[in-house]
Amino acid sequence: MLAMWVKVRVKPGARERFLKAIEVDALGSERDEPGCMRFNVLQDGQDQNVYYFYEVYRDEAALEAHRAAPHYAVWRAAADSLDGAPEATRCQTVFPAAAGYWERKSS
Protein backbone atom coordinates (compact mmCIF):
# COMPACT_ATOMS: atom_id res chain seq x y z
CA MET A 1 0.00 0.00 0.00
CA LEU A 2 1.11 3.52 -0.77
CA ALA A 3 0.42 6.06 1.95
CA MET A 4 0.87 9.80 1.85
CA TRP A 5 1.12 12.34 4.64
CA VAL A 6 0.50 15.84 3.29
CA LYS A 7 0.82 19.07 5.27
CA VAL A 8 -0.76 22.30 4.03
CA ARG A 9 -1.00 25.79 5.46
CA VAL A 10 -4.16 27.69 4.59
CA LYS A 11 -4.48 31.44 4.22
CA PRO A 12 -6.63 32.58 7.18
CA GLY A 13 -9.21 34.32 5.03
CA ALA A 14 -9.55 31.31 2.73
CA ARG A 15 -10.20 28.59 5.32
CA GLU A 16 -13.88 28.04 4.48
CA ARG A 17 -13.18 27.79 0.76
CA PHE A 18 -10.33 25.36 1.43
CA LEU A 19 -12.49 23.20 3.73
CA LYS A 20 -15.31 22.96 1.19
CA ALA A 21 -12.89 21.91 -1.58
CA ILE A 22 -10.94 19.36 0.46
CA GLU A 23 -14.18 17.86 1.75
CA VAL A 24 -15.34 17.28 -1.84
CA ASP A 25 -12.00 15.63 -2.64
CA ALA A 26 -11.75 13.49 0.50
CA LEU A 27 -15.33 12.22 0.43
CA GLY A 28 -15.25 11.67 -3.33
CA SER A 29 -11.98 9.78 -3.05
CA GLU A 30 -13.28 7.31 -0.48
CA ARG A 31 -16.69 6.98 -2.13
CA ASP A 32 -15.75 6.80 -5.82
CA GLU A 33 -12.21 5.44 -6.05
CA PRO A 34 -11.81 1.69 -5.53
CA GLY A 35 -8.05 2.16 -5.12
CA CYS A 36 -8.34 4.82 -2.39
CA MET A 37 -8.40 3.02 0.94
CA ARG A 38 -8.37 6.10 3.17
CA PHE A 39 -8.46 9.89 2.92
CA ASN A 40 -8.50 11.67 6.27
CA VAL A 41 -8.23 15.42 6.81
CA LEU A 42 -6.92 16.60 10.19
CA GLN A 43 -6.48 20.05 11.66
CA ASP A 44 -3.36 20.86 13.68
CA GLY A 45 -4.04 21.15 17.40
CA GLN A 46 -1.88 24.26 17.79
CA ASP A 47 -2.36 26.13 14.51
CA GLN A 48 -5.87 26.30 13.06
CA ASN A 49 -4.47 27.16 9.62
CA VAL A 50 -2.43 23.95 9.31
CA TYR A 51 -4.04 20.76 8.01
CA TYR A 52 -2.78 17.25 7.33
CA PHE A 53 -4.08 14.70 4.86
CA TYR A 54 -3.53 11.00 5.48
CA GLU A 55 -4.16 9.12 2.25
CA VAL A 56 -3.75 5.42 1.48
CA TYR A 57 -3.86 4.02 -2.05
CA ARG A 58 -3.66 0.46 -3.26
CA ASP A 59 -0.75 1.32 -5.57
CA GLU A 60 0.73 3.99 -7.83
CA ALA A 61 -1.99 3.43 -10.45
CA ALA A 62 -4.65 4.20 -7.82
CA LEU A 63 -2.87 7.44 -6.95
CA GLU A 64 -2.79 8.41 -10.62
CA ALA A 65 -6.52 7.60 -10.91
CA HIS A 66 -7.11 9.87 -7.89
CA ARG A 67 -5.34 12.74 -9.61
CA ALA A 68 -7.55 12.28 -12.69
CA ALA A 69 -10.83 12.24 -10.73
CA PRO A 70 -13.32 15.13 -10.97
CA HIS A 71 -13.28 15.74 -7.21
CA TYR A 72 -9.49 16.20 -7.34
CA ALA A 73 -10.03 19.00 -9.86
CA VAL A 74 -12.27 20.76 -7.31
CA TRP A 75 -9.43 20.60 -4.79
CA ARG A 76 -6.83 21.81 -7.32
CA ALA A 77 -9.07 24.76 -8.28
CA ALA A 78 -8.89 25.91 -4.65
CA ALA A 79 -5.09 25.63 -4.41
CA ASP A 80 -4.82 29.42 -4.23
CA SER A 81 -6.30 29.11 -0.71
CA LEU A 82 -2.96 27.66 0.42
CA ASP A 83 -0.17 29.68 1.97
CA GLY A 84 2.75 27.96 0.25
CA ALA A 85 3.18 24.60 -1.44
CA PRO A 86 1.88 21.37 0.10
CA GLU A 87 4.53 19.25 1.83
CA ALA A 88 4.01 15.61 0.87
CA THR A 89 5.76 12.55 2.29
CA ARG A 90 5.28 9.14 0.66
CA CYS A 91 5.22 6.12 2.93
CA GLN A 92 4.67 2.38 2.82
CA THR A 93 2.15 0.98 5.27
CA VAL A 94 3.61 -1.33 7.92
CA PHE A 95 0.74 -2.04 10.34
CA PRO A 96 -1.87 -3.16 9.74
CA ALA A 97 0.03 -5.43 7.41
CA ALA A 98 -2.81 -7.61 6.14
CA ALA A 99 -3.88 -6.49 2.68
CA GLY A 100 -7.45 -7.49 3.54
CA TYR A 101 -7.57 -4.85 6.26
CA TRP A 102 -7.43 -2.10 3.66
CA GLU A 103 -10.19 -3.53 1.48
CA ARG A 104 -13.45 -1.61 1.59
CA LYS A 105 -16.22 -2.98 3.73
CA SER A 106 -19.48 -3.34 1.84
CA SER A 107 -22.57 -1.96 3.54
Would you state the pLDDT for residue 93? Answer: 85
Between 1.10.3430.10, 3.30.70.100, 3.40.350.10, 2.60.120.10, what CATH number should domain 2-94 receive? 3.30.70.100
Share of the chain above pLDDT 70, in %: 91
* Measured CA angle at 72 (ends 100, 25), to 5 deg: 65
Would you state the pLDDT for residue 90? Answer: 95
- Averaged pLDDT for residues 47-54: 97
Kind of pairing, strands 50-57 and 36-43?
Answer: antiparallel
* Beta strand spans in 34-104 (E): 36-43, 50-57, 87-92
pTM: 0.88
Would you state the pLDDT for residue 98? Answer: 60
- What is the per-residue pLDDT across 58-97, written as a single tens digit (0 to 9) for each? 999 999 999 999 999 999 999 999 999 999 999 988 877 6
